[in-house]
Amino acid sequence: DQQVKQNSPSLSVQEGRISILNCDYTNSMFDYFLWYKKYPAEGPTFLISISSIKDKNEDGRFTVFLNKSAKHLSLHIVPSQPGDSAVYFCAASGYSSASKIIFGSGTRLSIRP
C-alpha cells in the first residue's frame, strides 16, 4: 500500500525547458511534503519542502506546488540544466506522526542537450 506515489519512473527534458515531476499521496494526515534529489552512489539530498498551509513554495529554479484537494504535488524546475539529471524522490510526513517520512519510488530525470 503505497501512500506516496510517483507514477512516472523516468522523464526526459531538453536543456533550458521546464521539468515537471509529479507526486500523489493517499493519506490525508500528511501535512508536510519534501523533495529530495539523488545522484548515483550517493545519499539523497534535501531540495525543497512545503507545508500544507501553503500551496506554493519557491527556491531559485525550484518551485513546489501543493493541491490538497487532489492530494497532489509537483516540482517544477526551470530552466532545466544538465546537473539536474538525477533521481527525484517525493516524501511526506505528518507533524503529529512519530517522525516518519514516507518516500515515493522516485522519478529519474534526464536533461538532454
Partner 1 sequence: DGGITQSPKYLFRKEGQNVTLSCEQNLNHDAMYWYRQDPGQGLRLIYYSQIVNDFQKGDIAEGYSVSREKKESFPLTVTSAQKNPTAFYLCASSPGPGQPQHFGDGTRLSIL
Residue 98 found at the interface with partner 1 (CB under 8 A) = yes
Stretch that binds partner 1, among 13-21, 61-69, 71-79, 87-95 (CB under 8 A): 87-95
* Binding-site size, partner 1 (CB under 8 A): 27
Binds partner 1 by CB under 8 A, chosen from 21, 24, 25, 34: 34
CA distances from 46 to 4, 14, 15, 112 (A): 17, 24, 22, 24
Distance from chain centroid for Cα 64? 7
Of 9 and 82, the one with the shorter C-beta distance to partner 1 is: 9
Residue 49 found at the interface with partner 1 (CB under 8 A) = yes
Which pairs with CB-CB distance under 8 Å and at least 24 residues apart come from 93-100? 93/30, 93/31, 93/32, 93/34, 94/27, 94/29, 94/30, 94/31, 94/32, 95/31, 95/32, 96/29, 97/29
Binds partner 1 by CB under 8 A, chosen from 13, 80, 104, 111: 104
Stretch that binds partner 1, among 12-20, 52-60, 68-76, 94-102 (CB under 8 A): 94-102
Residue 101 found at the interface with partner 1 (CB under 8 A) = yes
User: Rounded CA gap, 28 and 73, in Å?
Assistant: 13
Residue 45 found at the interface with partner 1 (CB under 8 A) = yes
